[in-house]
Amino acid sequence: MKDVSQSGTDRMLDLAMSLPEQIEQAARTACSANIGRPGRFDAVAVAGMGGSGIGAKIAQGLLLDECQLPVYVCSDYDIPAAPSAKTLFVAVSYSGNTEETLSAYAQARRRGCRIIAITSGGELGRSAAMAGYPVIGVPGGMPPRAALGHLFATLLVSLERLGVCESQQRGLEEAVRLMRSRRKSWLVRARTIAKHIDGRLPIVYSTSRMLDAVADRWRCQFNENAGVLCHTNLLPEHNHNEIVGMGRPRHPGRNAVVIALLDRETHPRTRYRLESVLDITEEAYYLAMQIESKGRSRLARIFSLVMLGDFVSVELARLAGKDAMEINRIDELKRRMAQKRG
């Protein structure tokens, strides 16, 4: 039975802990969902904002080296010029009511794309069902960012079933096993990391294309769960610009905590670049951490870092005395946007 006295932050931690179970459940649902036959597509375009878009970005990073088709992630009102009648378009909105995603979806309909929707309901669920597009449901009642396992695995298994990529089953299974067996120890590690970051500016660096979306996930979770600003950038690109700006203006230079995310696919020269950057800019940060992904498959490695980052964000919320569920500013903004339309 659910503990009624449970705080929002405890609830968020429970949801973060449930990432492997979410993936497992969603993969099963998506396997049996009626999504039609595989197609010969010229591209894949996925529309989604915030917590609904990040799963698409993670899938994009995962498939970059596996999939022959370009995968676009649309996080705006308008979709790019490329999607055509031969494009698979996936609209992902947890609530089903996000106006940018609904606008992108309407454009994809006009272009004649093959469409599927992933949502817990709302306007997207209604409209797609009415139009006869496959709608794959995810369970409601969660903050969208805490439903990443559902949204991501539903998307990935759908792409696999529609012939966009090879089977992802082994990777998903390994990711689930790894998270289940390591989540308690990762939480302990997350508490230590959060203590170092508390009261400082986290700067998260990705060191491989596959990890770019993972760094993004860390930033979004720091923003929404912990209510703090977070900066992200990508190596090696960082070395050609940001290295000069690090720690300037002077305040709050020494207040930054650098978190570099690394993976076995990180280029050996990028590792050397990172070491050199941390050495050259030593006066620009308070502390630098290098965090290696764990696991064998790319999926397991991605989710080892996603889960750790989610835990750090929740523990950071706890230290800051913020309710990790509370995102009043997003709610207020959505209210204002709805009023303006009406």
Q: Should residue 224 be labelled a site residue for ligand F6R when binding is judged by CB under 6 A? A: yes
> Is 227 a binder of ligand F6R (CB under 6 A)?
no
- Specify the residue, 9 or 95, whose C-beta has the smaller distance to ligand F6R: 95
Q: What is the dihedral of CA 36, 38, 40, 44, to 10 degrees?
A: 80
Identify how many contiguous H helices and E strands the chain contains and give both numbers. 13, 9
Q: Is 315 a catalytic residue?
A: no
Q: Are 116 and 47 in contact (CB under 8 A)?
A: no
Q: Binder to ligand F6R among 57, 145, 219, 301 (CB under 6 A)?
A: 145
Interaction mask 20-59, ligand F6R, x per CB under 6 A: -----------------------------xxxx-------
How many residues bind ligand F6R (CB under 6 A)? The answer is: 15
Residue 94 sits in the site that holds ligand F6R (CB under 6 A): yes
292 among known catalytic residues: no
Q: What's the Cα-to-Cα distance from 306 to each of 25, 148, 272, 293, rounded to whole Å?
A: 18, 10, 24, 9
Closest by Cα among 143, 76, 148, 75 to 118: 148
Minimum CB separation of residue 145 from ligand F6R in Å reads 3
- Is residue 101 involved in binding ligand F6R (CB under 6 A)? yes
Q: What is the DSSP letter of 255?
A: T
Greatest alpha-carbon pair distance for the chain in Å reads 59
Q: Is 184 a catalytic residue?
A: no
Q: State yes or no: cis peptide before 252, omega within 30 of 0.
A: yes
Q: 24, 100, 174, 224: which one is catalytic?
A: 224
Site string for ligand F6R, 74-93 (x = CB under 6 A): -------------------x
Q: Are 93 and 138 in contact (CB under 8 A)?
A: no
Q: Catalytic positions, please? A: 224, 240, 334
Site residues (vs ligand F6R, CB under 6 A): 49-52, 93-95, 98, 101, 143-145, 224, 327, 330
